[in-house]
Amino acid sequence: MKLHELKNVAGAVHRKKRVGCGEGGGHGKTSGRGGKGQSARSGSSIRPGFEGGQMPLYRKLPHRGFNQAAFRTEIAILNVGDLAALDAKVTEVDAGVLATSGLIRKGETSVKILGDGELGRALKVTAAKFSESAKAKIEKAGGQAIVG
């Protein structure tokens, strides 16, 4: 299939609504804008939440509280078994190596290593946090677990 062979699905394309072309067309006289008033005028738009000058609801309600979510630091979670899947040439592991290998998202800098799985070779792993079992497994394989 080529680009010039593509066609729209039946019913996907509608003709433009022609307003103001007489009563017979169904959209004559007021052209679907109802009666008189602000919304009938050209260029009219009323912002969301506007209540015609009445004190709007969002200003009547109290705004209280504080949300810690904006200051939260996201920590990527990885298991020792995932480190075993890395390329055999890799001996030093940090967030950059994990991102390029696709184990964590690019831009994530904080990583916590958990102890699920087994590690069969010595790796020098630098991460923000380690679980006790992960640290033990990395050191048992002859590697280092560096908090940093």
* pLDDT tens for each residue of 47-96: 999 999 999 999 999 988 888 988 988 899 999 999 988 988 889 999 99
Q: Tell me the two tokens of residue 90.
A: 């890799």
Helix, strand, coil % over all residues of the chain, rounded to 5: 25, 15, 60
Task: Return the domain boundaries, the chain.
Answer: 72-147
Return d(Cα 40, Cα 6) in angstroms, integer: 40
To the question of domain 72-147 being in CATH 3.30.230.10, the answer is: no
- Could you tell me which of 17, 38, 21, 40 has the C-alpha nearest to residue 29? 21
pLDDT in tens, 14-58: 999 999 999 998 999 999 999 999 889 999 899 999 999 999 999
Q: What is the pLDDT of residue 60?
A: 95
Q: Cα-flanking dihedrals φ and ψ of residue 54, to 5°?
A: -65, 150
Residue 104: other Cβ atoms inside 10 A = 20
Q: pTM above 0.75?
A: no
Mean pLDDT over each residue of the chain, to the nearest integer: 92
Tell which residue, 43, 102, 44, has the closest CA to residue 78.
Answer: 102
